Structure formats: structure tokens, C-alpha cells
Amino acid sequence: MIQAPRGTFDILPDSAAQRKVVEEQVEKVLGAAGYRRIETPTFEATDLFARGVGEATDIVQKEMYTFDDGGGRSLTLRPEGTAPVCRAYVEHGMHKLAQPVKLWYLSTFFRAEAPQRGRYRQFWQVGAEAIGSAAPETDAELIVLLADLLQALQVKETRLRLSSLGTPETRAEYREELKRFLRKHEDELSEEVRSRIDLNPLRAFDADDARTRSVMSDAPILLDRLNEDDAEHFAQVRALLDDAGIRYELDPTLVRGLDYYTRTVWEFTSDALGAQSGVGGGGRYDGLMEILDGPPTPGVGWAAGIERMLLAASDLAAPADLVDLFVALAKPDGNRTAFELAREARRAGLQAQLELAGRSLKGQLKHADRIHARWVAIVGENGVVTLKDMESGDQHDAPVQNVIPTILRGGAKS
């Protein structure tokens, strides 16, 4: 039997209804702040991600679905949305629009990761990007919008971690300082951390080993090394969040898996999730546009995983489908009046379903009840219809042309 590929899933109708609720909330929360939808292609030139996300990242090294398009061009299924949105910004000359350009997307993304609960190879993200503003208000506003969205979707037990990465230069200097520090304490570090001093010194902050942890409690932290402008920018973001009543933990070891970040970075986690606890995260990417050969343009944004938000909001209820009219057949053979009645009802704005399964009349009424139809029209010969009000149980005969006006008058489901 052929099954969906490992790490992918089908979205069945109940789940699609839930996701519609998510999309409506996204539109409401982001639309209210002037964000407008953008959708970019599912695949892009591989180089966009190699340069944008960063050659050295796990995403580019191990997780991309890359293929040759048959004409010698290397394409990649998008692993994330920020680089594509920046590409579109440059390609369409959006720097000529009023800045910042505020965009959102809700699309599928692809990463060849080991599948587990909350981690898939094809997954959905909602993302928001504000391109063309360096103001700390933009960072704070985006964080508030993500907090509002998580709250609107009743995502449980969320926590916000916040940090600033400063500039790439500050980061490079800091990295060297951290390496010097780690070398000085080499014999107190776990074997694993010691072997990765050059490759990934920041990993030392995540070590479980007790002695390593005690060394790291005195390690220099990047937040203390920010230049004056970056420190001031971060202080303003924090002040705005404080005023907005958004609680956060400062986490100077917060690392995001993408290389384009500068200054503010953040991540929302949910304790209601297991190992894959990151529901949504983002940050500022002031250098990305230039990496993509665009004009120097600051930007900031976030993305949140739809599946993780739904997992952490397990009681998100979708409204039930409404059926105004079920058109039943008195006799099972082809009945053009019934077919036409269902069509007319839909034209009049009603949700109308026609019997399609050759059920007995009793079976049809049972089915109408199961789908919570408000009215049933049993179409007999000569265009005579028995119209049954499923709420009161009353029924009467009527000419077919009276059915829709009666329903419209007597109460359709809404």
C-alpha cells in the first residue's frame, strides 16, 4: 500500500476546518496592524538559501530538498520564508513603496529532519516580515503581534525568550573571546564541548555536564559586548515590551538556526509541547537584503509553526459545518427537479446537499439528521415537495418554487 511519505501528513477535513480558524485569526491580528499577504513559489534557486540562510547552518548543510530541474539549474523546496520574501522585495522594487513593507504568509515549508511529534518534513508556517524599518518599535510590534496570535489561538503555557545578537562584527569578536575563555578552562570542560571549541563554542552554554556548567556560569556573554547603538536599540525594544506587559526571559545563549540575524532575536516556546517546544521565533535581519544583492534595507520578522500551535492548543474548536437544506428523493431514480432545487438553493446563498448515495427515504432522513440539516425537501413526482422543518418536526407539502422562499423566511442556519 502506498502511504504518505515519511514526515508528511494529510490534512483531513476536520483538521482543515481548524486551520481555517487559524488563518482567520492570522488575518485578523496581522491585518489590524497593516500586514498584507504575500505568497512566494514553493521552490527557489538553491543559491537563495545557501546565501540567505547561510552555508554553515544545519538547514543548508543537511535539511534541504534540492534537485536539478532538468536544465542544469539547482532548485530547492523552500525550508523557510524570509529569504524568499526578501528576494521578492528586491525583484519587485518594493523599496519604492512606503516603508516598511509589512507582509505575511501562510504556506508549506520543507526540511529533511528526523520526524517526531511536532517535527515534520513538510510543515506549515505563518510568518510576518516588516522590511524597511530599523525602529525598535517594529521589533516590539512584531513580538506583540505574535504574542497576540498565540493568545487568540489559545496556545498554552507559552514562554518568550529574548536576546540581541548585535552586529556580525561584534559576534565574531565575541566568538574569539569565548574561544579564548574556553581554552583557558579546557581541562574543566566535558570532552564533547572541548572537541567543539573551534567549531561551535556557543554550544558550551547548552552542556549538561556539571563541571562545564559551573565554568560557563562565569563565561563572557554577548549581551554585555553589544556596541552602544545595538545596546540602545535593545534597551528600547525591552522598554516597549515592558510597557506592553509582555513577559520575557533574557536568554543570552539564544541561538536561532539561521545565519541572517542581527540585533533582536526571540523565540516563543510552549511547555505543553515535548522536545520540539519552539512554537514561533524570529528576529531582525538588517544585512540580509545586501547578501541577496538588494539595496541595504533593515528588516525584522517571525514565523510560527501551524502544527505546533495546534498541538499546544489542543482544544481549538472549529465551528460545525452548517447545512440549510438536504434535498431527498421520494424515489431513488434520477430526479431532475431535485438536482435543480439543490442548485437553485446554493444560488440563493444556502448550503444545500443532494442525496447522492441511493439511500431509502428512511435512510435519507437519518442522514439529514446526522449532518444536522435544518430543512429536508423530499422531492416527489410532478414537482411536489414535502418540506420538513428538522427543528420542529413539522412538515407540509408545497410546490417546488415555494421551497427556497420558505427556507429564507423561516430561518436558514447562519
Omega cis (within 30) before 295: no
Q: Within positions 384 to 403, which residues make up the interface with ligand HAM, using CB under 6 A?
A: none
Q: Which is nearer to ligand HAM, 125 or 212 (CB)?
A: 125
Residue among 19, 161, 263, 308 that touches ligand HAM (CB under 6 A): 308
Alpha-carbon distance of 39 to 378, in angstroms, equals 45
Of 14-22, 74-82, 96-104, 213-221, the segment contacting ligand HAM by CB under 6 A is: 74-82
* DSSP characters over 161-193: EEEE---HHHHHHHHHHHHHHHHHTGGGS-HHH
Of 75-83, 92-100, 345-353, 406-414, the segment contacting ligand HAM by CB under 6 A is: 75-83
Does the protein bind ligand HAM through residue 107 (CB under 6 A)?
Answer: no
Does the protein bind ligand HAM through residue 76 (CB under 6 A)?
Answer: no
Q: Within positions 6 to 35, which residues make up the interface with ligand HAM, using CB under 6 A?
A: none
Query: Which one-letter DSSP state was computed for residue 60?
Result: H
**Closest residue to bound ligand HAM by CB:** 305
Taken as a whole, the chain contains a residue count of 414
Give the contacts of 338 (CB within 8 A, at least 6 positions apart): 327, 328, 329, 354, 355, 377, 379
Alpha-carbon distance of 229 to 232, in angstroms, equals 5
Does the protein bind ligand HAM through residue 230 (CB under 6 A)?
Answer: no
C-alpha cell at position 318: 472549529
Q: Where are the alpha helices (DSSP H) in 304-394?
A: 306-311, 336-347, 361-370
Query: Which residue's entry shows cell 519604492?
Result: 96
Q: How far is the CB of 95 from ligand HAM (least distance, A)?
A: 18
Long-range contact list for 218-221, CB < 8 A, 24+ apart? 219/178, 219/181, 219/182, 220/174, 220/177, 220/178, 220/181, 221/252, 221/253
Q: How far is the CB of 79 from ligand HAM (least distance, A)?
A: 8
- 42: how many CB neighbours lie within 10 A of its CB? 13
Count of residues touching ligand HAM (by CB under 6 A)? 29
Does the protein bind ligand HAM through residue 287 (CB under 6 A)?
Answer: no
Q: How far is the CB of 142 from ligand HAM (least distance, A)?
A: 9
Residue among 201, 282, 298, 380 that touches ligand HAM (CB under 6 A): 282
Alpha-carbon distance of 13 to 4, in angstroms, equals 17
Does the protein bind ligand HAM through residue 259 (CB under 6 A)?
Answer: no
Give the contacts of 348 (CB within 8 A, at least 6 positions apart): 404, 408
Residue among 52, 283, 287, 298 that touches ligand HAM (CB under 6 A): 283
Q: How far is the CB of 189 from ligand HAM (least distance, A)?
A: 28
Q: Which is nearer to ligand HAM, 201 or 282 (CB)?
A: 282
Does the protein bind ligand HAM through residue 380 (CB under 6 A)?
Answer: no
Alpha-carbon distance of 40 to 271, in angstroms, equals 32
Q: Which is nearer to ligand HAM, 157 or 321 (CB)?
A: 157
Residue among 278, 287, 294, 380 that touches ligand HAM (CB under 6 A): 278
Of 94-102, 168-176, 203-211, 255-263, the segment contacting ligand HAM by CB under 6 A is: 255-263
Residue among 35, 302, 326, 375 that touches ligand HAM (CB under 6 A): 302
Q: Within positions 109 to 148, which residues make up the interface with ligand HAM, using CB under 6 A?
A: 111, 113, 118-120, 123, 125, 127, 129
Cα-Cα-Cα-Cα dihedral sign, residues 285, 286, 292, 297: positive
Residue among 54, 81, 132, 201 that touches ligand HAM (CB under 6 A): 81
- 274: how many CB neighbours lie within 10 A of its CB? 12
Q: How far is the CB of 280 from ligand HAM (least distance, A)?
A: 5
What are the b/e assignments for 85-124, b being 16+ CB within 10 Å? bbbbbbeeebbeeeebbbbbbbbebbbebeeeebbbbebb
Q: Which is nearer to ligand HAM, 9 or 181 (CB)?
A: 9
Q: Which is nearer to ligand HAM, 12 or 357 (CB)?
A: 12
Phi, psi of 367 (to 5 degrees): -65, -45
Does the protein bind ligand HAM through residue 100 (CB under 6 A)?
Answer: no
Residue among 280, 287, 294, 380 that touches ligand HAM (CB under 6 A): 280
Of 96-104, 153-161, 246-254, 303-311, the segment contacting ligand HAM by CB under 6 A is: 303-311
Please give the residue ranges that form the binding site for ligand HAM (CB under 6 A): 80-82, 111, 113, 118-120, 123, 125, 127, 129, 256-258, 278-283, 285, 301-305, 307-308
